[in-house]
Amino acid sequence: MNKLINNLRKEENNPAIWVMRQAGRYLPEYRKLRKDAGSFLDLCYSPEKAAEITLQPIRRFKMDGAILFSDILVIPQALGLNLSFVTGEGPELSLLKTVDDIAPLRKNIKNIDKTLSPIYETIKLVKKELSEKHKSSNLIGFCGAPWTVALYMVDNHPSKQNHISRSWYYQHPDKFLDLIDILVEASTHYLKKQIEAGVEVIQIFDSWAGSVPDDMFEDVILKPLLQICKNIKQDYPNIPIILFPKGLHEHQLEKIVKQGCVGIGDNEKSDNRLFEGLGLDYGINLNWAVEKLQPYVCLQGNMDPAYLLTTPEIVRKKTNEILDIIKNSKNNGFIFNLGHGITPQTPIENMQTLIETVKNYS
Protein backbone atom coordinates (compact mmCIF):
# COMPACT_ATOMS: atom_id res chain seq x y z
CA MET A 1 0.00 0.00 0.00
CA ASN A 2 1.12 3.58 -0.64
CA LYS A 3 1.28 6.58 1.67
CA LEU A 4 -2.23 7.82 0.84
CA ILE A 5 -3.92 4.51 1.60
CA ASN A 6 -1.68 3.88 4.62
CA ASN A 7 -2.84 7.18 6.13
CA LEU A 8 -6.47 6.38 5.42
CA ARG A 9 -6.01 3.08 7.22
CA LYS A 10 -4.27 4.95 10.07
CA GLU A 11 -1.13 2.91 9.58
CA GLU A 12 1.12 5.87 8.69
CA ASN A 13 2.40 8.86 10.66
CA ASN A 14 3.97 10.71 7.72
CA PRO A 15 1.29 12.82 5.98
CA ALA A 16 0.28 12.14 2.40
CA ILE A 17 -0.58 15.00 0.04
CA TRP A 18 -2.84 15.70 -2.89
CA VAL A 19 -4.83 18.84 -3.70
CA MET A 20 -8.46 19.27 -4.72
CA ARG A 21 -8.70 20.49 -8.35
CA GLN A 22 -4.99 19.77 -8.75
CA ALA A 23 -5.65 18.80 -12.37
CA GLY A 24 -6.81 22.06 -13.85
CA ARG A 25 -6.55 25.68 -14.81
CA TYR A 26 -3.54 26.78 -12.74
CA LEU A 27 -1.30 24.50 -14.85
CA PRO A 28 0.02 25.88 -18.16
CA GLU A 29 -0.01 22.39 -19.68
CA TYR A 30 -3.73 22.14 -18.88
CA ARG A 31 -4.50 25.55 -20.38
CA LYS A 32 -2.74 24.57 -23.59
CA LEU A 33 -4.69 21.33 -23.88
CA ARG A 34 -7.96 23.07 -22.96
CA LYS A 35 -7.44 25.70 -25.66
CA ASP A 36 -7.10 23.03 -28.33
CA ALA A 37 -9.80 20.69 -27.04
CA GLY A 38 -13.15 22.43 -27.46
CA SER A 39 -15.68 22.34 -24.62
CA PHE A 40 -15.10 21.29 -21.03
CA LEU A 41 -17.40 18.30 -21.51
CA ASP A 42 -15.37 17.24 -24.55
CA LEU A 43 -12.43 16.95 -22.18
CA CYS A 44 -14.40 14.97 -19.60
CA TYR A 45 -15.61 12.44 -22.17
CA SER A 46 -12.37 12.07 -24.13
CA PRO A 47 -10.47 9.28 -22.33
CA GLU A 48 -7.08 10.22 -23.76
CA LYS A 49 -7.42 13.93 -22.92
CA ALA A 50 -8.98 13.36 -19.50
CA ALA A 51 -6.25 10.86 -18.63
CA GLU A 52 -3.59 13.33 -19.70
CA ILE A 53 -5.10 16.05 -17.49
CA THR A 54 -5.37 13.66 -14.52
CA LEU A 55 -1.69 12.80 -14.85
CA GLN A 56 -0.29 16.32 -15.41
CA PRO A 57 0.08 17.25 -11.72
CA ILE A 58 1.47 13.81 -10.91
CA ARG A 59 4.24 14.19 -13.46
CA ARG A 60 5.02 17.72 -12.28
CA PHE A 61 4.64 17.40 -8.49
CA LYS A 62 4.61 13.65 -7.72
CA MET A 63 1.59 13.82 -5.42
CA ASP A 64 0.46 10.80 -3.44
CA GLY A 65 -2.97 10.87 -5.07
CA ALA A 66 -4.11 11.36 -8.67
CA ILE A 67 -7.76 12.42 -8.77
CA LEU A 68 -9.78 11.57 -11.84
CA PHE A 69 -10.49 14.54 -14.10
CA SER A 70 -14.25 14.72 -14.53
CA ASP A 71 -17.22 16.61 -13.03
CA ILE A 72 -19.90 15.88 -10.43
CA LEU A 73 -22.67 16.76 -12.90
CA VAL A 74 -22.09 13.82 -15.22
CA ILE A 75 -24.59 11.89 -13.05
CA PRO A 76 -27.62 14.16 -13.71
CA GLN A 77 -26.57 14.26 -17.37
CA ALA A 78 -26.49 10.46 -17.46
CA LEU A 79 -29.95 10.46 -15.88
CA GLY A 80 -31.28 12.46 -18.82
CA LEU A 81 -30.81 16.17 -18.06
CA ASN A 82 -29.10 18.35 -20.65
CA LEU A 83 -25.75 19.71 -19.46
CA SER A 84 -23.50 22.41 -20.87
CA PHE A 85 -20.72 24.62 -19.55
CA VAL A 86 -20.93 28.33 -20.27
CA THR A 87 -17.58 30.12 -20.35
CA GLY A 88 -17.24 32.39 -17.35
CA GLU A 89 -20.53 31.25 -15.83
CA GLY A 90 -20.15 27.55 -15.14
CA PRO A 91 -22.51 24.61 -15.63
CA GLU A 92 -26.06 24.86 -16.97
CA LEU A 93 -28.47 21.96 -16.44
CA SER A 94 -31.98 21.57 -17.81
CA LEU A 95 -33.81 21.85 -14.51
CA LEU A 96 -36.48 19.72 -12.91
CA LYS A 97 -39.54 21.95 -13.14
CA THR A 98 -41.71 20.34 -10.46
CA VAL A 99 -41.47 17.48 -7.98
CA ASP A 100 -43.41 15.36 -10.48
CA ASP A 101 -40.34 15.38 -12.74
CA ILE A 102 -38.41 13.35 -10.17
CA ALA A 103 -39.98 9.87 -10.34
CA PRO A 104 -39.39 9.35 -14.11
CA LEU A 105 -35.63 9.67 -13.52
CA ARG A 106 -35.53 6.32 -11.74
CA LYS A 107 -36.02 4.33 -14.92
CA ASN A 108 -32.88 5.95 -16.36
CA ILE A 109 -30.52 4.60 -13.69
CA LYS A 110 -30.00 1.36 -15.59
CA ASN A 111 -28.81 3.30 -18.65
CA ILE A 112 -26.28 5.69 -17.12
CA ASP A 113 -23.27 3.72 -18.36
CA LYS A 114 -24.14 4.71 -21.93
CA THR A 115 -23.05 8.23 -20.97
CA LEU A 116 -20.39 7.39 -18.39
CA SER A 117 -18.46 4.60 -20.14
CA PRO A 118 -15.77 6.98 -21.50
CA ILE A 119 -14.94 7.92 -17.90
CA TYR A 120 -14.27 4.27 -17.07
CA GLU A 121 -11.89 4.16 -20.05
CA THR A 122 -10.11 7.25 -18.68
CA ILE A 123 -9.58 5.42 -15.38
CA LYS A 124 -8.03 2.43 -17.16
CA LEU A 125 -5.60 4.67 -19.05
CA VAL A 126 -4.58 6.56 -15.91
CA LYS A 127 -4.17 3.38 -13.88
CA LYS A 128 -1.91 1.92 -16.57
CA GLU A 129 0.51 4.87 -16.45
CA LEU A 130 0.45 5.06 -12.66
CA SER A 131 1.26 1.36 -12.45
CA GLU A 132 4.13 1.72 -14.89
CA LYS A 133 5.64 5.12 -14.01
CA HIS A 134 4.17 6.55 -10.80
CA LYS A 135 3.71 3.64 -8.43
CA SER A 136 3.71 5.85 -5.34
CA SER A 137 0.50 7.62 -6.42
CA ASN A 138 -2.96 6.13 -5.84
CA LEU A 139 -5.87 6.81 -8.18
CA ILE A 140 -8.81 8.65 -6.57
CA GLY A 141 -12.29 8.38 -8.04
CA PHE A 142 -15.17 10.57 -6.97
CA CYS A 143 -18.76 11.67 -7.26
CA GLY A 144 -20.90 14.50 -5.97
CA ALA A 145 -23.03 13.87 -2.90
CA PRO A 146 -26.80 13.59 -3.46
CA TRP A 147 -27.66 16.92 -1.78
CA THR A 148 -25.11 18.92 -3.74
CA VAL A 149 -26.05 17.30 -7.06
CA ALA A 150 -29.77 17.77 -6.33
CA LEU A 151 -29.21 21.51 -5.88
CA TYR A 152 -27.89 21.77 -9.42
CA MET A 153 -30.87 19.80 -10.70
CA VAL A 154 -33.44 21.98 -8.91
CA ASP A 155 -31.86 25.40 -8.22
CA ASN A 156 -29.21 25.27 -10.98
CA HIS A 157 -26.68 27.63 -9.36
CA PRO A 158 -26.35 26.56 -5.71
CA SER A 159 -25.92 29.14 -3.02
CA LYS A 160 -26.77 29.43 0.65
CA GLN A 161 -30.30 30.31 -0.46
CA ASN A 162 -31.42 27.22 -2.39
CA HIS A 163 -35.02 28.22 -1.81
CA ILE A 164 -36.54 25.82 -4.33
CA SER A 165 -34.81 22.68 -3.07
CA ARG A 166 -35.65 23.41 0.53
CA SER A 167 -39.25 24.29 -0.28
CA TRP A 168 -39.67 21.00 -2.17
CA TYR A 169 -38.35 19.15 0.88
CA TYR A 170 -40.68 21.01 3.24
CA GLN A 171 -43.79 20.66 1.04
CA HIS A 172 -43.18 17.28 -0.61
CA PRO A 173 -40.62 15.45 1.56
CA ASP A 174 -41.35 12.00 0.14
CA LYS A 175 -40.88 13.14 -3.45
CA PHE A 176 -37.75 15.20 -2.72
CA LEU A 177 -36.22 12.33 -0.77
CA ASP A 178 -37.00 10.10 -3.76
CA LEU A 179 -34.64 12.36 -5.74
CA ILE A 180 -32.00 11.90 -3.05
CA ASP A 181 -32.54 8.13 -3.18
CA ILE A 182 -32.24 8.07 -6.98
CA LEU A 183 -28.94 9.92 -6.68
CA VAL A 184 -27.74 7.49 -3.99
CA GLU A 185 -28.48 4.56 -6.28
CA ALA A 186 -26.96 6.14 -9.39
CA SER A 187 -23.88 7.35 -7.51
CA THR A 188 -23.33 3.94 -5.94
CA HIS A 189 -23.41 2.28 -9.36
CA TYR A 190 -21.08 4.92 -10.81
CA LEU A 191 -18.54 4.56 -8.01
CA LYS A 192 -18.56 0.76 -8.18
CA LYS A 193 -17.87 0.97 -11.92
CA GLN A 194 -14.98 3.34 -11.19
CA ILE A 195 -13.57 0.80 -8.74
CA GLU A 196 -13.94 -1.99 -11.30
CA ALA A 197 -12.01 0.17 -13.78
CA GLY A 198 -9.15 0.72 -11.34
CA VAL A 199 -9.64 3.54 -8.80
CA GLU A 200 -8.16 2.76 -5.38
CA VAL A 201 -9.73 5.49 -3.24
CA ILE A 202 -13.13 7.21 -3.40
CA GLN A 203 -13.97 10.79 -2.41
CA ILE A 204 -17.55 12.05 -2.15
CA PHE A 205 -17.87 15.83 -2.53
CA ASP A 206 -20.73 17.47 -0.64
CA SER A 207 -19.70 21.01 -1.56
CA TRP A 208 -22.99 22.55 -0.41
CA ALA A 209 -23.55 20.57 2.77
CA GLY A 210 -23.24 23.78 4.78
CA SER A 211 -26.36 25.24 3.16
CA VAL A 212 -28.61 22.69 4.89
CA PRO A 213 -30.69 23.71 7.94
CA ASP A 214 -30.03 21.49 10.92
CA ASP A 215 -33.50 19.93 10.74
CA MET A 216 -32.73 18.64 7.22
CA PHE A 217 -29.22 17.44 8.01
CA GLU A 218 -29.96 13.79 8.75
CA ASP A 219 -32.29 13.27 5.78
CA VAL A 220 -30.25 14.93 3.02
CA ILE A 221 -26.63 14.81 4.26
CA LEU A 222 -25.97 12.17 6.90
CA LYS A 223 -28.15 9.26 5.76
CA PRO A 224 -27.40 9.53 2.00
CA LEU A 225 -23.64 9.83 2.51
CA LEU A 226 -23.50 6.86 4.85
CA GLN A 227 -25.81 4.82 2.60
CA ILE A 228 -23.46 5.27 -0.36
CA CYS A 229 -20.55 4.23 1.85
CA LYS A 230 -22.47 1.18 3.08
CA ASN A 231 -23.38 0.20 -0.48
CA ILE A 232 -19.76 0.38 -1.60
CA LYS A 233 -18.39 -1.47 1.42
CA GLN A 234 -20.77 -4.38 0.79
CA ASP A 235 -18.94 -5.21 -2.42
CA TYR A 236 -15.58 -3.47 -1.90
CA PRO A 237 -14.80 -3.50 1.83
CA ASN A 238 -11.13 -2.64 1.30
CA ILE A 239 -11.64 0.50 -0.80
CA PRO A 240 -11.02 3.58 1.40
CA ILE A 241 -13.64 6.33 1.22
CA ILE A 242 -13.15 10.03 2.00
CA LEU A 243 -16.12 12.28 2.72
CA PHE A 244 -15.85 16.02 2.12
CA PRO A 245 -18.97 17.73 3.52
CA LYS A 246 -18.02 21.40 3.20
CA GLY A 247 -19.38 23.99 5.59
CA LEU A 248 -20.78 21.76 8.33
CA HIS A 249 -20.79 22.69 12.01
CA GLU A 250 -18.59 20.84 14.45
CA HIS A 251 -21.47 18.91 16.04
CA GLN A 252 -22.54 17.71 12.57
CA LEU A 253 -19.03 16.47 11.76
CA GLU A 254 -18.95 14.64 15.08
CA LYS A 255 -22.26 12.98 14.25
CA ILE A 256 -20.98 11.80 10.86
CA VAL A 257 -17.85 10.33 12.43
CA LYS A 258 -19.75 8.76 15.31
CA GLN A 259 -22.21 7.01 13.00
CA GLY A 260 -19.67 6.09 10.33
CA CYS A 261 -16.75 4.99 12.51
CA VAL A 262 -18.41 3.66 15.68
CA GLY A 263 -16.15 1.65 17.94
CA ILE A 264 -13.01 2.28 15.94
CA GLY A 265 -10.09 3.68 17.91
CA ASP A 266 -6.63 4.92 17.12
CA ASN A 267 -4.62 2.69 14.78
CA GLU A 268 -7.20 -0.09 14.75
CA LYS A 269 -8.00 -1.75 11.46
CA SER A 270 -10.81 -0.14 9.51
CA ASP A 271 -12.79 -3.27 8.65
CA ASN A 272 -15.92 -2.02 10.38
CA ARG A 273 -15.84 1.59 9.18
CA LEU A 274 -18.21 2.97 6.60
CA PHE A 275 -15.56 5.51 5.61
CA GLU A 276 -11.89 6.13 6.42
CA GLY A 277 -11.23 9.81 5.68
CA LEU A 278 -12.92 13.10 6.50
CA GLY A 279 -12.06 16.19 4.47
CA LEU A 280 -12.12 19.42 6.47
CA ASP A 281 -12.87 22.81 4.96
CA TYR A 282 -10.78 25.80 5.99
CA GLY A 283 -13.43 27.00 8.43
CA ILE A 284 -12.77 24.10 10.81
CA ASN A 285 -10.31 24.49 13.67
CA LEU A 286 -7.67 21.84 13.09
CA ASN A 287 -6.70 21.57 16.76
CA TRP A 288 -10.32 20.73 17.59
CA ALA A 289 -10.50 18.16 14.77
CA VAL A 290 -7.28 16.48 15.90
CA GLU A 291 -8.63 16.12 19.43
CA LYS A 292 -12.22 15.13 18.66
CA LEU A 293 -12.12 13.35 15.31
CA GLN A 294 -8.65 12.03 14.48
CA PRO A 295 -8.78 9.20 17.03
CA TYR A 296 -11.47 7.64 14.82
CA VAL A 297 -10.82 8.82 11.28
CA CYS A 298 -8.05 10.02 9.00
CA LEU A 299 -8.26 13.80 8.63
CA GLN A 300 -7.75 15.56 5.30
CA GLY A 301 -7.25 19.28 4.85
CA ASN A 302 -7.45 22.09 5.45
CA MET A 303 -5.30 25.01 4.24
CA ASP A 304 -7.20 27.98 2.85
CA PRO A 305 -6.53 28.02 -0.93
CA ALA A 306 -5.97 31.78 -0.65
CA TYR A 307 -2.61 31.08 0.99
CA LEU A 308 -1.44 29.82 -2.39
CA LEU A 309 -2.07 33.29 -3.83
CA THR A 310 0.52 34.85 -1.51
CA THR A 311 4.28 34.14 -1.50
CA PRO A 312 6.39 30.98 -1.14
CA GLU A 313 7.52 32.18 2.30
CA ILE A 314 3.96 32.55 3.56
CA VAL A 315 2.96 29.20 2.03
CA ARG A 316 5.89 27.49 3.72
CA LYS A 317 5.11 29.07 7.09
CA LYS A 318 1.43 28.10 7.03
CA THR A 319 2.16 24.59 5.80
CA ASN A 320 4.58 24.04 8.66
CA GLU A 321 2.03 25.38 11.16
CA ILE A 322 -0.50 22.78 9.99
CA LEU A 323 2.09 20.00 10.03
CA ASP A 324 3.20 20.98 13.55
CA ILE A 325 -0.38 20.51 14.79
CA ILE A 326 -0.45 17.04 13.26
CA LYS A 327 3.02 16.17 14.58
CA ASN A 328 1.83 16.85 18.13
CA SER A 329 -1.14 14.54 17.69
CA LYS A 330 -1.14 11.10 19.29
CA ASN A 331 -2.98 9.63 16.30
CA ASN A 332 -1.94 8.40 12.88
CA GLY A 333 -3.77 9.41 9.71
CA PHE A 334 -3.43 12.78 7.99
CA ILE A 335 -3.64 13.82 4.34
CA PHE A 336 -2.47 17.35 3.62
CA ASN A 337 -4.91 19.09 1.30
CA LEU A 338 -6.66 22.41 0.86
CA GLY A 339 -9.94 23.30 2.53
CA HIS A 340 -11.45 23.72 -0.93
CA GLY A 341 -10.23 23.51 -4.54
CA ILE A 342 -7.08 25.25 -5.74
CA THR A 343 -7.78 28.54 -7.52
CA PRO A 344 -6.82 29.04 -11.19
CA GLN A 345 -4.64 32.06 -10.31
CA THR A 346 -2.28 30.01 -8.13
CA PRO A 347 1.40 30.54 -9.06
CA ILE A 348 3.22 27.32 -9.84
CA GLU A 349 6.08 28.20 -7.48
CA ASN A 350 3.65 28.39 -4.55
CA MET A 351 2.25 24.97 -5.33
CA GLN A 352 5.78 23.62 -5.65
CA THR A 353 6.66 25.13 -2.26
CA LEU A 354 3.62 23.49 -0.67
CA ILE A 355 4.47 20.04 -2.04
CA GLU A 356 8.15 20.25 -1.12
CA THR A 357 7.40 21.49 2.40
CA VAL A 358 5.10 18.57 3.10
CA LYS A 359 7.43 15.99 1.57
CA ASN A 360 10.51 17.33 3.39
CA TYR A 361 8.84 17.81 6.77
CA SER A 362 10.17 15.66 9.56
What local confidence, expressed as pLDDT, does residue 354 receive?
98
Q: Give the SS3 label for residue 348.
A: helix
Among residues 11, 15, 79, the alpha carbon closest in space to that of 334 is found at: 15
Do 47 and 122 touch, CB atoms closer than 8 A?
A: yes
Among residues 25, 145, 39, the alpha carbon closest in space to that of 92 is found at: 39
Helix (H) or strand (E) holding 54: helix 47-61
pTM: 0.95
Q: What is the pLDDT along the chain (362 residues), one digit of tens a residue?
A: 589 999 999 998 899 999 999 999 999 999 999 888 778 888 999 999 999 999 999 999 999 999 999 999 999 999 999 988 776 667 788 889 999 999 999 999 999 999 999 999 999 999 999 999 999 999 999 999 999 999 999 997 766 567 899 999 999 999 999 999 999 999 999 999 999 999 999 999 999 999 999 999 999 999 999 999 999 999 999 999 999 999 999 999 999 999 998 654 444 444 578 999 999 999 999 999 999 999 999 999 999 999 999 999 999 999 999 999 999 998 999 999 999 999 999 999 999 999 999 999 97
What local confidence, expressed as pLDDT, does residue 139 receive?
98
Q: DSSP of 292-329, one letter per residue?
A: HTTTTSEEEEEE-GGGGGS-HHHHHHHHHHHHHHHHT-
Do 74 and 116 touch, CB atoms closer than 8 A?
A: yes
CB contact set of 182 (below 8 Å; sequence gap of 6+): 79, 102, 105, 106, 109
The CATH number of the domain where 207 resides is what?
Answer: 3.20.20.210
What local confidence, expressed as pLDDT, does residue 263 receive?
56
Q: How high is the mean pLDDT of the chain?
A: 93
What local confidence, expressed as pLDDT, does residue 88 receive?
63
Report the number of distinct structural domains present in the chain.
Answer: 1
What local confidence, expressed as pLDDT, does residue 37 receive?
77
What local confidence, expressed as pLDDT, does residue 313 receive?
98
Write out the residue range of the structural domain in which residue 239 sits.
3-360
Angle at CA of residue 52, ends 135 and 72, nearest 5°: 95
